[in-house]
Amino acid sequence: MHLNYWDITLLLVVAVQATLLAYVPRPRTKALLLTLPFPFSAAYLALGEPVDATNMFGLALLLLFMHGVRWLHVYGGWHIVVAIVGMALAYGLVGSAAAHVLPRQEWMFWTACAAVLGLGAVLLRLQPRRDEPPHRSPLPVAVKLPLVTLVVACLILAKHWLRGSMTVFPMVSLVAAYEARHSLWTMSRQVPVIMLTLGSMIIAIHLAQPHFGPYGALAIGWLVFAGALPVAGRLRELFWREGSGADGMSEKPEVQTSN
């Protein structure tokens, strides 16, 4: 396997972010760490291609991944590892197919943007908070970090098959879903925030990259992300009183089927 500089950077970024997420106990803090687009940034530079509709389509697949893992584990009775592997394979297959069939024209990009941002806004309104238990990984860092790095190294092999959807492949989410298996609703509820914030970042990069190149476009994208994140958080607070459902009562956490 040949790795360039940004492939190695992606390995390190995902390994560190996923490991940090594993040792943070509070579900809301895990969700915030999941939102930070460090893996996207490194993957964008590692892929070396302009952002297009496949990047936005990947955000929709991320939503399906998180809710798919939650449904399979909580309601389907699947072991959490089997649910994660199954949904990761589904993401890879659908993402690879989309990379070969989605047009690269501007109209496709902006159609995907409208669909993803619109869906994110609707879900932000429809998904109330649920109180879920904290969890911290019992594995030592010396064990966790190499395992995460190995998983990401395998994923990098598929980057050119997945194209833009690889930049939002659930590399950190693979670990997040396992470590947050007792708070999967909180993780899934964060995906609409990611759709709105990272979606805005992708749009900014798309507009800036012809004029400023990948590095300048990425810097502009980070500025847009920094502005979009508090806006998305504020919108969620306006839609739902913190800690309450639509009727003002905190909803019950989902019952996990297995550890």
Residue 242 has pLDDT above 50, yes or no: no
Residue 132 has a pLDDT of 57
Please report, for residues 71, 72, 124, 194, the alpha-carbon distance to residue 232 in angstroms, rounded to integers and kept in the order given. Answer: 25, 28, 8, 9
pLDDT of residue 246: 38
pLDDT tops 50 at residue 167: yes
What is the pLDDT at residue 69?
92
3-state secondary structure (DSSP) of residue 200? helix
| pTM (predicted TM-score) | 0.82
Q: What is the mean pLDDT of residues 236-245?
A: 50
Distance CA 238, CA 232 (A): 10
CB-based contact 72:87 (threshold 8 Å):
yes
> What whole-number distance in Å separates Cα of residue 143 and Cα of residue 148?
9
Q: Residues 35, 173: contact at Cβ < 8 Å? A: no
Q: For residue 104, is pLDDT > 90? A: no
Answer positive or negative: Cα dihedral of 196, 44, 101, 58.
Answer: negative
For 122-140, write each residue's pLDDT tens digit: 888 787 666 655 555 555 5
Question: In angstroms, rounded to a whole number, what is the distance separating the alpha carbons of residues 213 and 28?
Answer: 35
Helix (H, G, I), strand (E, B) or coil at 105: coil
> Does the pLDDT value for residue 117 go beyond 90?
yes
Q: Is a pLDDT exceeding 50 seen at residue 3?
A: yes
Lowest mean pLDDT among 23-27, 136-140, 170-174, 215-219: 136-140
